[in-house]
């Protein structure tokens, strides 16, 4: 599932693929995924387009919703990709609408998988692109009882 893996490579959330061919006649597969902001939605769409062009030589027949980027539809004929903002996806709930469609199992690419790192002697999942944890030096700490900018936290 090239489109699903490409979405995962750009940290798309809750990516799933549904086999809808027996239910509707316009497509065989829906890929449904979401991003946390419009910039990420556009980035996910760009990555899906690049991956399908590179690996299959396919360009979308149509792209709808890219200017708004709350719900972008990439139409590849037998494959239709829906990239949502998380809130928009929750509102329209396509998974519930197509709940009778069988899910297609897919594996994320190696670049999308999490790596394990040791921080403070404890193994924790960490994204490959994440920055190292830096501890504040004691001299950089704010005096007790003060908040950001030295504003007192207590009641006046």
pLDDT tens digits for 57-79? 999 999 999 999 999 999 999 99
CATH topology of domain 2-112: Beta Polymerase; domain 2 (3.30.460)
- The residues, any chain, with a CB within 8 Å of residue 68's CB and separated by 6 or more, are 38
Residue 140 has pLDDT above 80, yes or no: no
**Structural domain boundaries of the chain?**
2-112
Question: What pTM, to 2 d.p., does this model score?
Answer: 0.70
Q: Is residue 83 classed exposed, middle or buried when 0-12, 13-18 and 19+ CB atoms within 10 A define those classes?
A: buried
User: Across residues 4-19, what is the average pLDDT?
Assistant: 95
């Amino acid at each position: 599932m090239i489109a699903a893996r490409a979405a995962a490579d750009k940290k798309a959330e809750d990516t799933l693929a549904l086999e809808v061919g027996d239910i509707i006649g316009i497509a065989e597969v829906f890929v449904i995924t979401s991003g946390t902001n419009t910039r990420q939605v556009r980035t996910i769409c760009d990555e899906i387009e690049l991956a399908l062009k590179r690996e299959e030589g396919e360009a979308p027949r149509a792209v709808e919703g890219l200017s708004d980027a709350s719900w972008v539809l990439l139409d590849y004929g037998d494959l239709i990709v829906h990239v949502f903002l998380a809130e928009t996806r929750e509102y329209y709930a396509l998974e519930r609408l197509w709940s009778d469609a069988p899910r297609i199992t897919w594996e994320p690419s190696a670049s999308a998988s999490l790596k394990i790192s040791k921080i403070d002697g404890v193994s924790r999942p960490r994204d490959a692109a994440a920055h190292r944890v830096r501890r504040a030096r004691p001299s950089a700490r704010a005096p007790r009882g003060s908040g950001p900018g030295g504003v007192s936290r207590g009641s006046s």
